[in-house]
Structure 1
């Protein structure tokens, strides 16, 4: 999954776009799992189990080893990170800016190259000694900051279906996506149809 961000005119753009998309999707996983109480018309318990969602993300995006340290997750840190990431998916050009800046400062996010013997260097935005949870928070927050910083913040959105607060990273060409998935799109269409039908009867 990639997103083309027009102002970038450099060699290797597709790799950079893929890099940003990977960590932006991690931010989506963290927010939807740890900070969203209403999903697809239902109320749910928060936080939801994180490891299954992370496994699905890893299988799809294949994050580099330097950013996928082993070890237990820090539920408190990740819950705090999810709360800091969530406002970035709100409307408006300044949505989530203050919260993201605070998150990046807390995690000491700074660009650096991680290198392992026999492997090429990997760009990351967490300190080389960061634990698994801190690394995820720093890299996810930086990705959202990069999306917003190049004028593509509208791609960070919240589902518009009633009763759903799931967030998503919109990779459509014209940033026109409105729903988290097909289920909510169908629910919204059915609700609109019922509303039109009711209006005709009155």
Structure 2
């Protein structure tokens, strides 16, 4: 029996409803765990104030994104509230092969696609403390119309029904506390028996 560090990196998928605070938690988590490789998604939505190309997202036109779909350049993709979101394939696969842990911050539809491709990934569902808090966060952005806010809330209610497909649920009541929980999950996953043990005859 031999114990060894895994050669393949961990794929950590963080998703949850719009307004759960995925972007804020991921940004803080990168400060706590600089060794994590953050996969930047592509999207057709317009940049929000302060967002940077290649840092927060790769901002694409619909035509550019649809060409990426046709060329099988995306690990997953989904259309969410009128915009496309997707994960560039090559970057993720190369980093995992190098033994790096890769963090994906993606929508729930995309996470379900990833789970079919990477069943041994670590799937974390981030939730707000309540639906009332979710509404407050979405409305507080001030970047969406009332119609889009209602669509996001309707979608969030449906997404919560998929929580059973995730390995872990983290309540984002305080950002630092949520990051501590996620960091603990990643450490524990690296210590899983099946990831550490290589049995030889």
Which TM-score applies when normalising by structure 2? Answer: 0.26
Q: Of the two structures, which has the highest relative contact order with CA contacts closer than 8 Å and spacing of 6 or more? A: 2
Larger Rg: 1
